[in-house]
Amino acid sequence: MKRRFHVGMLTCWLLFAAAANANTILMLDPPGGAISGAAGTTVGWGFTFTNDTNYAVITGTEFCSSSSNPLPDICLPPAPNLGTYTDFAGAQFLVAGPAPESTSVTQAFDNTLQTGLASFAITPGASGTVSGFIVLTYDLFSVSPNDPSFSLNDEIAGGNYLTAAASVTVESTTTVPEPSLLVLLTGLLLLLLPLKKRFLSRSVSL
């Protein structure tokens, strides 16, 4: 009897967890999460976070390596380390849910305004590609945190997370070769040639 009770409780919990995440979606901009930039520059991701059941509050984002477990508490940074990841979405108070909130939050990446999902400052002199996935964590509430009647007792589930594949590629820079001395002398002669002809024509007329 006790075993049936425990199995029933576990089943209910799994169904509840599935229901809590069924209508919650994370999409990265650009699609596929693949971004690129030159060494020494800062790039980043825009995003769309959708939730139409209860009220979800984004609490943070991380960039994890493809070999790490997709759990926020054991996220491993991608290797090799090509740069520094900075969370933007978690630093804002973003709520997605039914009215009076919006069921979808969309932000383009802007490093100056610090909007979007996150930035990635590529280390000067770096090369290659770093890949993994973004982990976004959020808490779920039965009442919007923006509602005057909200209290912490309205929390349904904390520490929920979504994942999305992501990568950063360092663009190779092609150096323009400096002009050789021969090229400079050839250009100088071409400039002086009309002057020489003009001088010779004056000498003949004299």
Domain CATH for 113:
2.60.40.10
One-letter amino acid for residue 18 of the chain: A
Tokens representing 137?
A: 């964590």
Residue 28 in domain = yes
**Prediction pTM value:** 0.72
Give pLDDT, residue 66.
Answer: 83
What is the domain extent for residue 89?
A: 2-181
Number of C-beta neighbours around residue 61 at 10 A: 26
Residues 6+ apart with CB under 8 A from 14: none
Instruction: Specify if 201 maps to a domain.
Output: no
* Residue 170 burial (C-beta neighbours within 10 Å; 0-12, 13-18, 19+): buried
Continuous H helices in 1-62: 2-22
Number of independent structural domains in the chain: 1
Does 137 map to a domain? yes
| Amino acid at position 135, single letter | V
- The one-digit pLDDT tens for each residue of the chain (206 residues) are 444 444 344 344 433 444 444 589 999 999 999 999 999 999 999 999 999 989 999 999 999 988 777 666 778 888 777 999 999 999 999 999 999 999 999 999 999 999 999 999 999 999 999 999 999 999 999 999 999 999 999 999 999 999 999 999 999 875 444 555 665 566 656 666 565 555 445 554 55
CA distance 76 to 131: 12
Please check whether residue 188 lies inside any domain of the structure: no
pLDDT of residue 8: 46
Does some domain include residue 191? no
pLDDT at 77: 83
> Residue 186 falls within a domain, yes or no?
no
Q: Specify if 17 maps to a domain.
A: yes
* pLDDT value at residue 16: 43
Residue 6 lies in a domain: yes
